[in-house]
Structure 1
Amino acid sequence: MNALSAGDLLSAEAAVALLLALAAALAMARTLWRQHRAEPAARSRGWRVAALVLAQPLLAGLLYAALLPPRLPGQAGSLVVATAGAADAALGAAAGDARVRLPEAPRSQVGERVPDLASALRRYPHSRRVRVVGAGLVARDRDAVRGHALDFAAPPLPRGIVGVWTPARIGEGEAFTVYGRAQGLDGGAVELLDPAGQRIDRVVPDADGGFAVDAVARVAGRAGFVLRALDPRQRPVERVTLPLSVEAEPPTRVLLLAGAPGPELKYLRRWASDAGIKLHTQLAVGAGLQLGDAPLRIDAATLAGFDALILDERAWDALAPAQRGALAIALRDGLGVLLRVTGPLSPGLRAQLRGFGLEPGAGGDSAPLRWPAERYDEAGLRARLGPGSADAPHSREQAPAALPVLTRRSLALDAPALQPLGRDADGRAFAAWRAAGQGRIALWGLGDSFRLVLAGREDAHAQLWSRALSALARPRGDARARIDGSLRVGERVRLCGVGAQAQVAAPDGSRIALLPDPAAGSQACAGFWPTQAGWHALAQGGRSQDFHVRALDDAPGLRASELREATLALALALRSPPAAAGDAVAVPTDGERGSPWPWFAAWLALCAALWWFERSRLGRASGSAPSDSR
């Protein structure tokens, strides 16, 4: 049977009302007509006629109420739900609305206290809509509201930092960027402090409040960075901790080939040693002689054992055709290749580069390279440079040196298909890469980056080469579990990629076994509800993965933004599309109808009383029979 539409139901109710009204009108007309036809001496008194006439619409009304009882008061309308931060002025309820307050709502709020939204919906099952007032619904209540229309007027966010996004994985020695959003700073700034409390970056948020700060993960382990928001007068507004887990990974394996030794390679090798990179060097010096490590045979098997290859144009030209073929195969299998252009490119090399989608030009000319204006102030540079070494300490009284002017080869590296690895002050790329199969190939136009080290700017030299290798090195499989959720005490954390014996170690040392959800299938997901704030560790298969859980009241701006965005997304998802023409839709109701029996009993009692009154002699003329007139 098809469901009645709203228009059909209204038509049926109107038809019943019309029929009852017509019957009452006919009964009234019949009473008046019979009174009119009676002889003057036999006519009833006026009050009797009036009682008989007025009883007809009353009977019709009682019968209508018995057939279609009125809806119960207090069960139509919306369910008004007070959440954290709900204001009394926003809780205005219309007639028939029910008001409840969740455990997060202020105790002073008006409304019935309920343990969760599911309990409130069971208590008021006839509420058609749910109107959320305050910060928004926590994860506990978001599934319960599904199937109901949800109204949510998002409140303004508090002043401070309301959004932070950190990389999913940070390796030891890698540079990383933290993105965020601030609210209400109006000309203020956001600073990034390292675990020692030194300011390493400072930015002014844009017009929308967005900002990005970067840092370097120097050592593996748990690191406690801090974001600090400042107002226009440089007064602290908020501090938000950034607990980051820096992972120690197997060293990147790099093969370095060069047609001749030089200072550029000397300082590149020194940086690789300091960064923990496993570097194998082969430097040609002529007459078939080589310096560096033991010579390796350049073939597919050898290149498969490296993550990246760095070579100059002379080393490329010296490769045999079979070696260039093995290089092309290794590149398409994931090897990262960086070609250092230190002189003009031969026609043969340019033709081979065109096979990889590169058209750099001859590269015969060179030009000075000026760096863009540094975004770090003196304090930030000092923190990034650190104390230096025992042989070359950095004086805290001496200002950090400016970046020197370098030399670059004139290459065409601004094509749309290329991704820049760095740009100069004029916005022109001096190094760029593009994908080639599963690997990446890059052209490097700098020939004297070692001058950065000589000028006392080891940080810039390290950052330059670190970003290049991070972009090009062979990707490695990620065996880590995926951890989703707000990572707060009492909130559900979803861990995917866990085994049957996986456990979570809490800050107090206790261990909680995880039970994978059979419905998750190959994703192997499990749920975890943290009860303590601090560092937790997921242990499985001899591997430990750290993650941090915030207290429920930590970083209130982030918490308010989480609730706001999650509730807005839920309200959008529950917004039902309009029904197409002719589709059967559910009948909208304002609440459950009451019992018909009281109305039927009243109608029956009035019918009995009217039947007795019509046959009685009350109000009749003397001598008239009961059946003569009414």
Structure 2
Amino acid sequence: MDTQRILLGLLAFAVITATARLLWFAWRGAPETRPRGWRVVLLALLQLASAVLLYHTLLPPPVATGIDALVVATANAPRDIARTLTSHEKLVALPEAPAISEAEPVPDLGTALRRHPETARIRIIGDGLVARDRDHLRGMSATYQPTPLPRGLIDLSAPSRLQAGTDFHVSGRVNGMARAQVELLDPAGQRVDRQPLDRNGRFDLLGAVRTPGLVEFRIRLNDPSGRQADTATIPLSVYSPATVRVLMLAGAPDGELKYLRRWAVDAGVRMHAQIELGGGMQLGDAPVALNAATLKNFDVVVVDERTWGGTGAARRNALADAVRSGLGLLVRIDGPLSPASRNALAALGLRLNAANLPAAFKLPVSKEDDEFAATRLGPGTSDAPTAKTAAVTALPELTRQPLRIDDPNATSWLRDSEGRPLAAWRALGRGRIGTWLPMDTFQLVLVGRDDLHSTLWSDAIAAVARARAANELPVPADARAGTRTALCGLADGATVTPAGGQPKPLLIDPATGIARCAGLWPTAPGWHVLSSGEASASFYVRGKNELPGIAAREMREATSLLTLAPGQVAATSATALGSRWPWFLAWLLVSAVLWWLERSRLGRAAAAH
């Protein structure tokens, strides 16, 4: 119970008790000694007035102060903001705000609140509060009047780290530029992809990286006349893929197997191949036994339907146990699959049934343009250059087995142009088992699209391969010069090295506990290297004034989360306790009158003669 309620209860009890006592003695007295009625009523009213005045003396009513709201000017606030102020508002300007002569400059919002402790409401105008000031807004009644977003890029999403040889998407949103076009340029300045903005100003561009390293792509925004209106750097840290260990088991040599082994060499996949020729003869590498000790040295086992059908129960059980322990198993179906082989797959949870499906199929038509296809193909080599027409060559029809994947728990990663699944996997213990229905993807290589052939098989191996624990340092994806960023998961002695600079030690905050985080205020843009223990990782720091539209949108969203909804008016007002002296003097006067009246004979009955 608070002090106000306790005091109010005590005074009410005192008034009720005193009034009851007054009435009791007036009623119990002899008729000739009873006081007159007006005296009793006046005494009761004076007692009540004395109690009310004492209450206000101890807790005087609040009175309005001179300042009701603090108006905070942030970046891009209107210079004539002072014209909108009322008599109970005080204007302050943060360092990001433009020069406003009528505003009181403050270094941060916390200082402004300390200078004006009577502030009850805050009105923010401009782009919003930077991270430095947002914590001071918590618990305050605040409204926000954002300025219009600038023309140009206001949203951008792109990966910061990816594996060499993979595609990536760059998406975003543009404000105030209808019928504009966005282009993605590679580090050499060559256009990789371009796209007009949709009706909401959004875009989604496609790029590809081929070799490891630190690269910088670039987004270029062109207005309807073709002139550059905005640009943005897309920094990418490209790493080499981990070596995948594949055991290839085939019942006979064929074209698909030939080009698959060639792809493995080009992609850096460590493949151990065993190809049966019949009569106990084999091609490829030395035979290995299918047991737990051998299979734990591989990430994926690829078998064709001949090998799967001719494998005994013991070897299948060894494969199944290895899959449950994390191994990936991919069954290539490039010939008729016997009922016994289908039952063996069904026993592992992957159901395939015969279906009336056409043998020929086409891959889905990609949305990529010729420029992006040429980027994926690359220039080739000096002895085997890529033909300029390879990217525009029509894709050939491929063939498949007329089987349908009937497992509701299976996930398909490849479909034909009609949407029918061509490859799917499902979980089995800690590993995955998958099936592959296309029989002649090597035809893509024959027409010059070895990039598509590589993508198909890279996706297939990645879909079922043994999972490996990630062992990389977490780095920020949106660091900006002059803005604090957090680095976590650090070891003792961790450092950050800016481009062309010296290593700077990082001080781990003990309050972060096992997260082991440290704050970093980068001062220069460009690539930085985080070193922690024996690990290191690179991250990019954008310039302080880079991408102003995106910075404005982020500040607007962060500030809006801490303020009242648009149009909502804060109900509080700036008040302070009033003066006690007027109430004390009034109480003293009333108490004196009450004391005199209680002791005087005024209004008492006349004494009996």
Distance 1:133 1:303, change over 3 A: farther
> What is the 5 A alignment of 1:367-378?
367-378=359-370
Please give the per-residue CA displacement for 1:307-347, whole angstroms capped at 9, x wherever unaligned: 22222222222333222222222222322222211122222
- 2:312 corresponds to 1:320: yes
Give the equivalent residue in structure 2 for 1:21. none
Q: Distance in 1 between matches of 2:522 and 2:544?
A: 11
Pick from 192, 196, 201 the counterpart of residue 193 of structure 2: 201
- Taking the aligned partners of 2:86 and 2:324, their CA distance within structure 1 comes to 67
1:23-172 pair list within 5 angstroms: 68=60, 71=63, 73-76=65-68, 78-88=69-79, 92-108=84-100, 110-167=102-159, 169-172=161-164
Structure 2: how far apart are the matches of 1:398 and 1:479?
Answer: 39
Relative distance call for 1:447 and 1:497 in structure 2 (3 A) is same
Match of 2:166 in 1: 174
Per-residue deviation at 1:417?
3.2
Question: How far apart, CA to CA, are the structure 1 residues paired with 2:546 and 2:210?
Answer: 27
Q: Given the alignment, which residue of 437, 442, 459 partners 1:450?
A: 442
Match of 2:343 among 341, 347, 351: 351
Contact 1:331 1:438 (C-alpha < 8 Å) held by counterparts: yes
The reply on whether 1:217 has 2:215 as its aligned counterpart is no
1:590 aligns with 2:574: yes
Give distance in 2, aligned partners of 1:160 and 1:207.
15
* Distance verdict in 2 for CA 1:176–1:306, change over 3 Å: farther
The aligned residue for residue 333 of structure 1 is 325
- Assess, with a 3 A threshold, how the Cα gap between structure 1 residues 2 and 384 changes in structure 2: closer, same or farther: same
How far apart in 1 are the matches of 2:422 and 2:194?
26
Once the 2 structures are TM-superposed, how far is the Cα of residue 290 of structure 1 from its aligned partner? 1.8
Candidates 403, 423, 426, aligned match of 1:431: 423
Q: Deviations over 1:65-92 (max 9, x none)?
A: 998476353332x322221122246673
1:547 corresponds to 2:539: yes
Q: CA deviation at 1:494?
A: 1.2
Moved more, 371-380 or 271-280: 371-380
Cα 1:192–1:454, aligned 2, differ >3 Å: closer, same or farther? same
Q: Deviations over 1:359-404 (max 9, x none)?
A: 2213686522123333222222222222122232124478632222
CA contact (8 A) 1:198 1:383 kept: no
In 2, distance between residues paired with 1:335 and 1:109? 70
3-state secondary structure, aligned to 1:447: coil
SS of residue in 2 equivalent to 1:255: strand
Q: How far is 1:100 from its partner?
A: 1.4
CA separation in 1, counterparts of 2:552 and 2:516? 31
Encode CA deviations 1:497-540: one digit per residue, 9 max, x unaligned: 11012111112321111122222222222221111111100112
Task: Please tell me the root mean square deviation across aligned C-alpha atoms, in Å.
Answer: 3.4
Q: Provide the rounded CA distance (Å) in 2 between the counterparts of 1:164 and 1:471.
A: 28
Looking at structure 2, the residues matched to 137 and 552 of structure 1 have their Cα atoms a distance apart, in angstroms, of 16
Q: Which residue of 2 aligns with 1:483?
A: 475
Number of residue pairs the alignment of both structures matches:
541
Amino acid across the alignment from 2:459:
R
2:65 counterpart SS class: coil
| Cα 1:201–1:462 shift into 2, 3 Å | farther
Q: Contact 1:185–1:230 at 8 Å: present in 2 too?
A: no
What CA deviation, in whole Å up to 9, does each residue of 1:140-185 have, x standing for no partner? 1122222223323444433333222333641222333333333334
Where 1:566 maps in the other structure, the secondary structure is helix
Q: How does 1:354-393 map to 2 (within 5 A)?
A: 354-362=346-354, 366-393=358-385
Indicate the residue corresponding to 1:256 in structure 2: 248
CA deviation profile, 1:560-599 (whole Å, cap 9, x unmatched):
22222222334479xx9x9xxxxxxxx95532245555x6
Question: Percent identity among equivalent residues?
Answer: 45
1:4 is displaced (CA, Å) by 6.0
- Identify if the C-alpha distance between structure 1 residues 566 and 255 changes in structure 2 by more than 3 Å, giving closer, same or farther: farther
Q: Distance in 1 between matches of 2:148 and 2:425?
A: 43
Give 1:445 deviation, angstroms: 1.5
Is the CA contact 1:192–1:202 (under 8 Å) kept in the aligned structure 2?
A: yes
Which residue matches 1:403?
Answer: 395
Aligned partner of residue 523 in structure 2, secondary structure: coil
Structure 1: 5+ residue runs without aligned partners?
A: 13-59, 579-586, 608-630
CA distance in 2, matches of 1:144, 1:527: 19
CA gap 1:67/1:148 in 2 versus in 1, 3 angstroms:
closer
Secondary structure at the residue paired with 1:412?
Answer: strand
Whole-angstrom distance in 2 between the partners of 1:279 and 1:511: 41
**Structure 1 CA distance for aligned equivalents of residues 422 and 179 of structure 2:** 34
- Quick check: 1:102–1:115 contact (8 Å CA) kept in 2? yes
Amino acid at match of 1:99: L
In structure 2, give the amino acid aligned to 1:241.
T
1:475–1:93 distance in 2 versus 1, CA, 3 Å: farther
Deviation string 1:175-196 (CA, Å, 9 cap, x unpaired) is: 3333333333434333222212
After superposition, residues 234-249 of structure 1 pair within 5 angstroms as: 234-249=226-241
Unaligned 5+ residue runs, structure 2?
Answer: 13-51, 590-609
TM-score normalised by structure 1 residue count: 0.78
The TM-score, its normalising length taken from structure 2, stands at: 0.80
Q: Structure 1 CA distance, aligned partners of 2:391 and 2:347?
A: 48
Cα pair 2:527 2:539 within 8 Å, conserved: yes
Give yes or no for contact 1:118–1:144 (8 Å, CA) kept in 2: yes
For residue 405 of structure 1, report the CA deviation from its aligned partner.
1.7
Q: Which amino acid aligns with 2:73?
A: A
CA gap of 1:366–1:398, structure 2 versus 1, over 3 A, is: closer
Distance in 2, Cα, partners of 1:359 & 1:121 = 68
Query: Within 2, Cα distance between the matches of 1:208 and 1:309?
Result: 47
